[in-house]
Amino acid sequence: MTRRTIAIVIGMLASNGAAYAHHSQAAQYDTSKQVRIEGTLVQFQFRNPHTFIQIEAPDETGKVVRWSIEWGGVGQLNGQGVTRTTLKYGDPVIITANPSRTPNDHKLHMLTLKRTSDGFGWGTRPGEVIALEP
């Protein structure tokens, strides 16, 4: 083998490893189901590779629990009008999301978000951010 062939093979293996390391949303979340929760934001982790928000909201039994909602990466969300200052502690929110495949996990994958105090919203594609209501 030539050095060039070896370099190409190593490059292909290295790039394949990075792609393989990224998990499938469908493996962790049930994409055939949607849940709606309404609660209060208690943490906004604006980071890569995925942003997370934590909210306190009732579960299916009515008990208030902390939900962890996985969202897009920083670059993706910045391009859609979401910044690290978009959400704040105490914001009242309504989330629609795919539930975890693990029962009683309280983890979700974000589909839509609406902040009820001013109508800010995100979700349902093209540009994702929904303008504030007047």
**Residue 19 tokens, joined:** 């792609």
pLDDT confidence of residue 25: 72
DSSP 51: -
- 39: Cβ contacts below 8 Å, ≥ 6 apart: 55, 56, 57, 58, 64, 67, 92, 93, 95
Please give the CATH topology (third level) of the domain spanning 25-130.
Answer: OB fold (Dihydrolipoamide Acetyltransferase, E2P) (2.40.50)
pLDDT-above-70 percentage for the chain: 73
* Residue 133 buriedness (CB in 10 A; 0-12 / 13-18 / 19+): exposed
Identify the weakest region by mean pLDDT among 10-19, 38-47, 57-66, 103-112.
10-19
* pLDDT, tens only, 62-97: 999 999 999 999 999 998 889 999 999 999 999 999
